[in-house]
Amino acid sequence: MTARSLPAILLLAAAFCFPSQALASAFVPQIVAAMGRQLDRQAVARLQQAETPARGISLILTTPVDLNDLETSNPLARQVQEELASWFAQAGYPVREIRAGAGLLFSPPTGELLLTRRNNLLLSETADSNAVVAGTYTITPEHVRFNIRLILAGSRDVLAMTSMSVPISGEVAALLSGQDAGRPGAPIAPTVVTQLP
């Protein structure tokens, strides 16, 4: 056994010793990063560009919604949106923040806030961008399957698409139940209108 093979052996041993669901929450950022890389590579190839990030693309990221009810989402889907926004921004894409408020909101119990979902507090109820990242999810007994698309705003053509599953761990199950929202299963009302050219 060489020193170079030791990390691979330790990783293999960890996979057998710990249930995959217990490790699933640690892998959510990695799964989302893999989705981002796939969308990025497909967009570059489809636009016939030589390297990433795809030039000429500015993004708005929306929250993935339940495939069976396109007006419902959950905290896990909102976390996936945040992770994807972070990945695309770090990869060099211009990412537009559609939840920016017109000014700071001072809330004594919470602190100083800029992001909001309240229409009357938004900087703008429309957002200009030439591409939108949108998606759906489906919950099965063991996984949450995400289908994410990068859509050109003008033509509504799908420039890239990826599908990946997140194993349901205790942490993922808590996000699915909406425990952090205080309103389990409450649907999310749209607060921003995206105008497509």
pLDDT in tens, the chain (197 residues): 555 555 444 444 444 444 443 344 457 899 999 999 999 999 999 999 999 999 999 988 888 999 999 988 899 998 999 899 999 999 999 988 765 444 444 555 655 444 444 554 444 445 566 888 999 999 999 999 999 999 998 899 999 999 999 999 888 888 888 744 434 444 444 444 455 55
pTM of the shown model? 0.69
Q: Nearest to residue 168, comparing CAs of 20, 17, 68, 18?
A: 20
User: Class of the 20-97+127-177 domain?
Assistant: alpha beta
Cβ atoms of 73 and 66 within 8 Å: the answer is yes
Handedness of CA 187, 156, 56, 164 (dihedral sign): positive
Beta strands in the chain, from DSSP E residues, in sequence order:
59-61, 65-66, 95-96, 100-107, 111-115, 131-139, 143-152, 158-167
Q: Where are the domains of the chain?
A: 20-97+127-177
